[in-house]
Structure 1
Amino acid sequence: MKLSLAIVAFALAVPTVSFAQDSTAVSSNGEYPNTFSSGSANVSPFTNKSKRFNDWSISAGAGVPLMQSADLTSIKNGNGKNLFGYSAYISIDKAITHAFGLKLQYDRGETRQGWFNTKESVPNNLPYQQVGARTQYDAISILGDINFSNLLRRVDNHSPFRWALHGYAGLGTIAYRAYQKDAAGQRLATEVKPFKLGSMFAQAGTGLKYKVNNRIDIEGRVMYVMTGDDEFDGGGDKYSAINQREEQVSDNFFNATLGLTLKLGKHESHLMWHDPLQEIYYKLDVLANKNQDIEVCKKGDADNDGVCDDWDRQLDTPAGARVDGAGVALDTDLDGVIDLHDKCVTVPGPVENNGCPTTAPAGPIQETERTLEGIEFDLNSDRILPSNTPILNNAVNYINSSNGSYTVVGATDTRGKDAYNQKLSERRANNVKDYLIKNGAESGKLNAIGRGEKDLKYPECEPATKCPEWKNRANRRVYFEAK
């Protein structure tokens, strides 16, 4: 029975919550996220340095134990009179979350039970009333600490949070010496050593804490101690006349104490006094009281093409022209006449003929004029983007059908060191050259060089912070020069 009670008490004392306190510490070093950051660059691991709250404390208190369930009691209920002993405790406390913690607690005290105080002489009463006892005990236990106020507290940003109701339960080992006194004198009735199977005990109870300040709490606590032992009250062994007065009685007692808690650490607040819901609602209230207008286009949209000037690559688009995502007017047949003014949108033709060929084509339409275009790259990358492969495939046909040879030139923007940019531009040029050869271009007509950041399409982007991103992207390119 002793062991089963201890197991049940321990199971009730240890909740399934196992996470630690929250942290607002973030990383802002500008580096790209790694595989441990869940896709965010502003995440840092939880460490001691990033803690927001104190989570260690020391508690101590003193009080009065009263035998309640025994053959000899401290309460006038037929097996004794009102007798008061003394008790004291000290504990080291660790808060795991805002609502759960653990305590390593040491208890010491003396219960007094029976019909008279053993420090007094034996009274001239009835024979069964000429028995008194006292029990000196030492106990070590681990207690679970549940903060019911944080679990059940309503969200109210205006009420002070100074009272907290706690619940405690746990188990441990208890050592005691029980003395019995009668007309024959005083003797040691029972002695139990600690850390034995028979010395296991459990205790549970509740406490009401008052927060004096950020360092000190006052607490009144009532614990019910279950010894699981019929000899703790000093009645002697289980076959003695006293322990045979009532069958199947385990000696349990109440312990009422008043104590202080000293909260340790450098932070202003303790984790057990923190209410996460209250903090969230407070922040929501602050945000609700802020009037913030979101400005989508800081520089406006001068040509009214639907693309903000911050990233518009053509700031003078004619009214009514369709544009791409960069704000450039569409030219479907790439003949230099935008679709708005092109009367032959799908067939290339000269400007002077409104984008239409000068003679009607016979049979399949043939391309009369071609240009060798370049491609752009992502930041710090030499990878050819899938969107650029059609341009390079057209370049293969252009190169093979021409009589000249070409230099594939790689370039970068102005971010990064000169030496690094030079090597990056060479990799870009060589990747494009290899792609062209792999897809059928004559290798003898191609040569690749890198010019780093010395060949900017937009020279005013020095440094890169002076220009919008589309100009910097245009500087990160590979283009072709005819020899």
Structure 2
Amino acid sequence: MVSKKYTLLAASLCLLASYGFAQVKTGGSYDPSDSSLVPSKRMPQHTEFLNGTYNFPAKPRNQWELGVKYGLAHISGDIPSVFFTAPNFGVHIRKSFGYVFSARLEYVYGEPRGLNWKQTGVNAQSAWATVGYAPGQLIYNNYKTRVQDLSLQGVITLNNIRFHKAKTGMNFYLLAGIGGMIYDARHNAANDATGTIYTAEFGSISGNVYENRKDTRKALKDALDDSYETRAENDKDVLPTLFDDTFRPSFTLGGGIAFKLSNKWNLALEDRWTFVKDDLLDGQRWAEQGDLTRDYDAFHFLSLGLNYNLGKKSVEPLYWLNPLDYAYSEIRNPRLMRLPKPVLPDSDGDGITDQFDQEQTPAGAPVNSHGVALDTDGDGVPDYKDKELVTPTYCQPVDADGVGKCPCPDSTCFDKYMVRQDDCATALGALPSVSFKSGSNNLDADAKAVLATVAARLRNSPQCKVVVVGYCSSSKKEQQLSWDHVNKVITHLVESEGISSDRFVFNYGQEGGDCNTVDLRGATTGEDGPATVAPPHPNLRKK
């Protein structure tokens, strides 16, 4: 009967826990870069990790678990246990020291009961003899024991380390621990109301000759009260006591399964055994039974518990987290990983990587964004071979050097009809200026449109260079802002318009102009300068 009730209870608890498990949504873990989760003693490691000098993130501060439980208790001893809804409960506090191991301090209180449906004879040394039963008299041995156990346990969890899921909503664990137990075993040997022993009651049940356990136990339940007034045999004279109860060191083994209800709550079904080197937990020595069935008794507790996670600025207890989560998330979407700067091959050195380069051109040859040599006038001769970069259409076709044959309008034509290729100021004309908002280094839509016009003129005069002039230098801030403006204009023309960087002369910090304006003009004959200049005050540089 007891076995069936235990089975039914366990099945009901599993069903309830499964319902709770079905409601929880599992997801990712914590953010390893969150400094608020790292205790001060591990902050140096956290700093090294964020700086990329240490591969492993610091262990975060994690929550404590506080749990309460209620369940069934019995003693595995010399007298069969009976099912009884006594106040069998436990409380614990648990702290994780890693993703696998945690420690738990637990207190358990239980009042297991037992009843032998078979008659046994009274031993002259037993407690039954001290209340009036004659040695050898047949009785129905019984007990109720108050058990209190306090133990420190190590708990092992393994199934949170998962390779195909971020978290688990179900947690299997094993536990083992040591502690101390006090107990007080008592017999129901006399009627508490009358003070008489159960000689007549035991005799009437024996006279009816019940042949099965169920009928015998029912008859005993009807005949006996619930007093348990007689203290059972114990070894208090030779063993230490605490609160007038017998004290014994204890060793606990057990296991359980927890079902996650939320990030704060979980439900746990647990089974644990507590062993003591004592045969009197049920008040009965094995030797009195006349056999050698057992030396020591054990306390068993099957429970259903509700656990709550305590702590602020802390992650869940680590046994709920997957230690592989950080590594997998970085592989999938790198955020904290230090990635090497990509080095892409450019065989011909034209600024277009081989992956996208459609033509291998000689060194210095101007190319477009696909690495193809420019042919500004479309005469079929690339610019790096063309001796006449801009040949009007009516002067084509051209020879191998790109020089066309233009018809002279009359016999008076002379050089002034042709623009000198080295007169860039004339070839490009007056170039527009670029304006920035005060203190800003951003190009608005109007500025980009102006630069698109400049780029079109530069493509039509590929032999020309442009001087980019920024103004103001009375302070470090103005000097750096002037440099930022000039650099911004050149960078936009190179990266967005495809103009070669060597066609610009970098000129900043000049006087006589507006601080928020950049002027552009064609370089005069022989005028040259660097295309790039180091920033004067990099710490003031605007991105």
TM-score normalised by the chain length of structure 1: 0.46
More helix by share: 2
* Structure with greater Cα Rg: 2
| Length-normalised TM-score, structure 2 | 0.41
